[in-house]
Amino acid sequence: MNGKSRTKKTAANLAAVSLPAPQTVPKNKVGETVQDFIDFGGAKVVQAEQQDAQNWLVTATE
Amino acid sequence: MRRCVRIASALLAGVLISGCAAPRVSEEQIARVAKDWCMTIRGSQVMPVYPLTEDVLSGDVFLVTTTIQSEQKEFKQRGFLPLPLLVTRLHPSGIEDFYLSSHGTQGRTNPPYFWRFDGTNLETNRLCQMPRAAFPSYQFSTRGGGGLNIAVPIEAIPVAINLAGGKRVEGSVLLSDAYTYGFDQANLQNLLLDWAGRNSDLLEVLSPADGGTNYLRMISRIYLVGGVSVQVNSVGSFAGSASGGADKPVNLPNLDGTNTVEHYTSALASLSSALSTALNAPGGTLKVSSASSRSASLNETFPRPLVVGYLGFDLPVLPGGQIGFPQDTMMRVKGGATHPLPTKPLRYSADSNSTALRAWLREDPANVKKANEWLAKNYSAPNLANVITAGELRDVRKQMVEQLVQPPAKP
């Protein structure tokens, strides 16, 4: 684990006008937030990057 | 020469009379011409200003009160969006740094006035130093020209149409002497956020009370034009004429036959002079550059350059007077997906409403659609995924749960 993980998935039936804004989340909520970005935010590619010992930055890149 | 002037004056009288007596153009036709005009400006990826004005500046902040859906619909139908309420005019600094002292900005702090006016003499300016722009020509066709100067604020168009004659005309408008200036979004956004911090009371009043969304539209760049060239060709026959399809004889003095170039030139000069006097264009000029039996070409110079379009970005006014994420105006009103601009990351701060909302969204895919529709109607800027857990969107989440998820979640 080098501090980065990428998840790719197609979101369906979304009419969002913008991709999710980057969000800082606790380590144990990264998976849940990535899933929210994909399922509800219209993101196709989400990047999670470790910021410090506790927090990760979740960003929709596409 | 006197004969030329007499004939030109007679022709001008005919032009004006025919303009007055021209068949009334329907509101729909006028709207269509206005839309065509605005679509041309939009084709250059610039938001049209209609009617043209010189009093829109980079740094102006307007209030937009329509929902995103109505705004998109209106933009498609009318071709432009009105800018009804000027909330404030911010004056960004740093024009000299932005242009690295070029374009005549050295030591200047009051754009665009130092370009528009050269000292106290209103008749001279320094526009040649302003950054230039160019627009494609605007094609149009219409029957009769009586109402066109209402739809398109250019006097040369109805005059050229009447000069060319004919019931049906086709023409083109070329925006000449186009200029532009603007500021970077970072500068303007910081200025606006500073202003918003000092005017939260006003913003709270401007935030929608009925569940809608209001936006602050910041103008970041404007486009000005100094004049237009209008070319009009008559096509088809005249109404009621027995000689359908025949050329209309334009009464320019002796344009055919044995006349010399000198006569033709002096005739055009006489006509231009008579037109400018009759139309009483203050400080501007209307010059006939060519005329024939089926076409006319006029150049119109505005007294001072007018703004024809702008670029900008919108920031939603959230409940409580908070400002949301900025979005590009053109992208937003076209309904396209936009990346949020780089901003401070949102903080994760889930609460009981997060759990309730997520569970409700997972219950049924239709709920996701409902939630996005509710967001688009009420806020549009925040993304649904952020609403679920972001601390900054706690109020939006609470409202969504109260209005969409039943029963309402307890705090």
Token output for B364: 């049924």
Could you give the CA distance from residue B2 to residue B87 in angstroms, rounded to a whole number? Answer: 56
DSSP classification of residue B159: H
Could you give the CA distance from residue B144 to residue B20 in angstroms, rounded to a whole number? Answer: 11
pTM of the model: 0.57
The residue of chain A with its CA nearest to that of B369 is A14
Higher per-residue confidence, B45 vs A46: A46
Could you give the CA distance from residue B39 to residue B136 in angstroms, rounded to a whole number? Answer: 11
CA distance B345 to chain A (A): 5
Contact B380, A32 (CB under 8 A): no
- Between the alpha carbon of residue B404 and those of residues A20, B212, B373, the distances in Å are 21, 15, 11
Token output for B323: 């400002």
Render pLDDT for B255-285 as a digit per residue (tens, 0 to 9). 444 456 666 666 656 656 655 554 544 445 6
A15 and chain B in contact, CB less than 8 A: yes
Render pLDDT for B102-139 as a digit per residue (tens, 0 to 9). 998 888 888 888 887 766 666 667 788 889 998 877 77
N-to-C CA span, chain B: 89
A40 and chain B in contact, CB less than 8 A: yes
pLDDT of A26 > 90? The answer is yes
| Residue B160, helix vs strand vs coil | helix
B381 and chain A in contact, CB less than 8 A: yes
Contact A11, A39 (CB under 8 A): yes
pLDDT of residue B379: 67
What DSSP element (H or E) covers B340? none
- Between the alpha carbon of residue A13 and those of residues A17, B195, B375, the distances in Å are 13, 39, 15
Confidence of residue A8 (pLDDT cuts 50, 70, 90): very low
CA distance B195 to chain A (A): 24
In chain B, % helix, strand, coil (3-state, to 5) comes to 40, 25, 35
Q: How many CB pairs under 8 A join A and B?
A: 98
The residue of chain A with its CA nearest to that of B390 is A23
Chosen for mutation from B215, B373, B386, B397 (greatest number of chain A CBs closer than 10 Å) is B386
Beta strands at B60-64 and B327-328: parallel, antiparallel or unpaired: unpaired
Contact B368, B410 (CB under 8 A): no
Beta strands at A4-8 and A45-50: parallel, antiparallel or unpaired: antiparallel
Higher per-residue confidence, B201 vs B6: B201
Q: How many CB atoms lie within 10 A of CB B67?
A: 18
Render pLDDT for B333-370 as a digit per residue (tens, 0 to 9). 665 544 444 456 888 999 999 999 999 999 998 999 88
A2 and chain B in contact, CB less than 8 A: no
Could you give the CA distance from residue B41 to residue B45 in angstroms, rounded to a whole number? Answer: 7
CA distance B322 to chain A (A): 17
A48 and chain B in contact, CB less than 8 A: no
B369 and chain A in contact, CB less than 8 A: yes
DSSP-derived secondary structure for A2-32: -SEEEEE----S---SBPPPPEEEEGGGHHH
Strand segments (E) across B188-294: 214-235, 285-291
What DSSP element (H or E) covers B180? strand B168-182
- Asked if this assembly's ipTM is beyond 0.85, the reply is no
Could you give the CA distance from residue B63 to residue B74 in angstroms, rounded to a whole number? Answer: 16
CA distance A32 to chain B (A): 10
Confidence of residue B48 (pLDDT cuts 50, 70, 90): confident
DSSP classification of residue B390: B
The residue of chain A with its CA nearest to that of B331 is A17
| Residue B249, helix vs strand vs coil | coil
Q: How many CB atoms lie within 10 A of CB A15?
A: 14
What DSSP element (H or E) covers B29? helix B27-43
| Mean pLDDT, rounded, of chain B | 71
Confidence of residue B23 (pLDDT cuts 50, 70, 90): very low
pLDDT of B180 > 90? The answer is yes
Could you give the CA distance from residue B204 to residue B225 in angstroms, rounded to a whole number? Answer: 37
pLDDT of residue B356: 92
Nearest CA-CA partner of B230 in B172, B148, B301, B163: B172
pLDDT of B12 > 50? The answer is no
Confidence of residue B61 (pLDDT cuts 50, 70, 90): very high
